[in-house]
Amino acid sequence: MTDEVDVVVIGLGVGGEEVAGKLAEAGLSVVGIESRLVGGECPYWGCVPSKMMIRAANALAEARRIDGLAGAAQVQPDWAPVARRIREEATDTWDDRVAVERFEGKGGRFIRGSGRLTGDGLVWVGDVELRARRGVVIATGTEPAIPPVPGLDGTPYWTNHEAIEADTLPDSLVVLGGGAIGLELAQVFARFGVRVTVVEALDRLLAAEEPEASALAEHALRADGIEVHTSAPAQRVDHSGTDGRSASSRAEAGFSVALPTGTATGDALLVATGRRARLDRLGLDTVGLDPAAKAIATDERMRAGDGLWAVGDVTGHGAFTHMAMYHAGIVVADILGRPWPPADYRALPRVTFTDPEIGAVGLTEAQARSAGINVRTGSTQVASTARGWIHRGEGFIKLVADTDRGVLVGATSAGPVGGEVLSALALAVHAEVPLDRLRHMIYAYPTFHRGIEDALRDLALT
Ligand SMILES: Cc1cc2nc3c(=O)[nH]c(=O)nc-3n(C[C@H](O)[C@H](O)[C@H](O)COP(=O)(O)OP(=O)(O)OC[C@H]3O[C@@H](n4cnc5c(N)ncnc54)[C@H](O)[C@@H]3O)c2cc1C
């Protein structure tokens, strides 16, 4: 028997939960399908618990700064309150009952299982067939991409799931991957006393960002005692048979990772080498889409076909919660026939929550140049602003301008609150505020964001 409904949403992570909830609230009959936990990666294994870890690790780092600034402090890290907070406050011990009830309270019908398309508007889940009158929304996210390093398969390596769920910490950890997730977790564990080694195949950390951001990140990690290897593709992984989690198994390092110039060892190995969408399990071929593609291609209304939409990580526009939420707004409006601006990715903000935080928006200098833009850049160091000097802060602001149009097309703001300072720059890129207007704005003294004024001055000089 086939159940007829208005909309079926496959995957109730950040994007899917928002779409399904909003459409149900608007009075449509909506079925939401989720194979794991309603809410998805962000609240259970991503943004929220990782930022709780970072908050705790930064408190330790701040306490260590008391010496020479405000007296003396003895810092004794303890992972137990962090693990408890993640379990009790963030994830409800990885239980989504509240989220399921919230969705059902909005009028949605929830089915736990793996959804698969079987034709236009048709979805199978378990032994139920659903026919969606208005359409199907794919919001299935991504999972960790595991590189084909010889020896890795079959070892008890960690992904972000095990790292977030850790009740106790290993003595030492190798992190494969120098992107945002790897660096954030590496710094957290190092600040809690774990001996951490970061291994990155490319020639710099945070390779998608400005080279200045990469240099700052590497400097900050080294200052926390982290060993960093760049241009170091892992050639082989060996595992001694211990799992690195129990005290008895820590007697000898569990993992050894062969690099071009040496070996990195650790009780545990965290694989953080990017994310990939699993399109092969979604029945995409039944609606004329390529299951071997890297992402689901969408138009500016997030349409992937007739009566088919996709949102979030699975679209390949950037694996961020704010991207999934942004997409969700577009899809809800499109399905309800409400006016809404088309998708526009010019001012995509992203923040690596290391200390210092590295925020960026829009194009990097290299991206702007290869797009044929007539580029001019301006920059300043955080330490050269009054606030940065007072805080002994490290970081920089870099602006990337399109000189023909007289607007910013990108910016990086790295520093003690780089992600917050970014908001002004994101607004400038998004609204295409003329450089002249930015120059003649009043910037509060002494704030970190006053660095924007200095960088604008530098931009005028270069
Ligand atoms: C450690 C870490 C830290 C992060 N920190 C940040 C951050 O600080 N800021 C930020 O913006 N982003 C962050 N992210 C990224 C963010 O978590 C994702 O971009 C976001 O969760 C994407 O939402 P989504 O709805 O596209 O997918 P997801 O949240 O991944 O949800 C997809 C859901 O679909 C389900 N699913 C998959 N296939 C099926 C199927 N066939 N049937 C039914 N259900 C299915 C999955 O179980 C999952 O629950 C972080 C990610 C990680 C891993």
Predicted confidence (pLDDT) at residue 243 exceeds the cutoff of 80: no
Predicted structure pTM score = 0.96
Average confidence score pLDDT of the chain: 96
Q: What percent of the chain has pLDDT over 90?
A: 96
pLDDT band at 1 (very low <50, low <70, confident <90, very high): confident
C-beta of 448 in contact with ligand 1 (< 6 A): no
Tell me the pLDDT band of 154, cut-offs 50, 70 and 90.
Answer: very high
46 lines ligand 1 (CB under 6 A): yes
Residue 175 has pLDDT above 60, yes or no: yes
Quote the pLDDT of residue 327: 98
pLDDT tens digit sequence for 187-241:
999 999 999 999 999 999 999 999 999 999 999 999 999 999 999 999 999 998 6
**Amino acid at position 461, single letter:** L
Pairwise pLDDT comparison (243 vs 371), residue with the higher score: 371
Ligand 1 lined by 296 (C-beta under 6 Å): no
- Has residue 104 got a pLDDT over 80? yes
How much distance in Å is there from the Cα of 187 to the middle of ligand 1?
A: 22
Mean pLDDT of 15-37: 98
Contacts by 205-210 with C-beta closer than 8 Å and gap 24+? 205/178, 205/179, 205/230, 206/178, 206/179, 206/180, 206/352, 206/358, 207/178, 207/179, 208/179, 208/364, 209/352, 209/358, 209/360, 209/364, 209/412, 210/360, 210/364, 210/365, 210/398, 210/412
Range 352-359 average pLDDT:
98
Give yes or no for residue 418 having a pLDDT over 70: yes
Query: How many C-beta atoms surround the C-beta of residue 235 within 10 A?
Result: 13
Compute CA distances 418 → 257, 268, 352, whole Å. 33, 31, 9
Closest protein CA for atom 17 of ligand 1: 42
The answer, yes or no, to whether any atom of ligand 1 lies below 6 A from the CB of 19, is no
Rounded CA gap, 107 and 25, in Å? 7
Q: Which of 378, 414, 411, 408 is nearest to 395 (CA)?
A: 414
Alpha helices for 263-345 (secondary structure H): 321-336
Q: Is the pLDDT of residue 367 over 60?
A: yes
How many separate helices (H) and strands (E) can be counted in the chain?
Answer: 14, 22
* pLDDT given at position 252: 54
pLDDT given for residue 195 in this prediction: 98
Q: What is the pLDDT of residue 33?
A: 98
Q: What is the mean pLDDT of residues 400-416?
A: 98
Give Cα 458 to chain centroid, integer Å: 31
Residue 462, pLDDT above cutoff 90: no
Q: Establish whether residue 352 lines the binding site of ligand 1, counting it when its CB lies within 6 angstroms of any ligand atom.
A: no
Closest CA to 180 of 158, 142, 208, 159: 208
Helix (H) or strand (E) holding 366: helix 365-370
**pLDDT at residue 250 is higher than 60:** no
Q: Which of 124, 165, 321 to mutate to test the pocket of ligand 1 (most atoms within 8 A of CB)?
A: 321
Instruction: Decide: 352 and 214 in contact? Cβ < 8 Å.
Output: no
pLDDT above 70 (res 253): no
Spatial CB neighbours of 370, under 8 Å, sequence gap ≥ 6: none
pLDDT tens for 286-337 read 999 999 999 999 999 999 999 999 999 999 999 999 999 999 999 999 999 9
For residue 248, pLDDT over 70 is answered with no
What mean pLDDT is predicted for residues 111-123? 98
Atom of ligand 1 nearest to the CA of 116: 41
Those residues whose C-beta lies under 8 Å from the C-beta of residue 394, and which sit 6 or more positions away, are 216, 219, 220, 356, 382, 383, 415
Beta strands in 311-406, from DSSP E residues, in sequence order: 349-352, 357-362, 375-381, 396-402
pLDDT at 249 over 50: no
Q: Which element (helix H / strand E) includes 160?
A: helix 160-165
Q: Is the CB of 47 under 6 A from ligand 1?
A: yes
The torsion angles phi and psi of 175, rounded to 5 degrees, stand at -110, 115
State the amino acid at position 236 in one-letter form. Answer: R
159 lines ligand 1 (CB under 6 A): no
Alpha-carbon span 223 to 292, nearest angstrom: 42
Residue 120 has pLDDT above 80, yes or no: yes
pLDDT at position 247: 46
Q: What is the pLDDT of residue 461?
A: 74
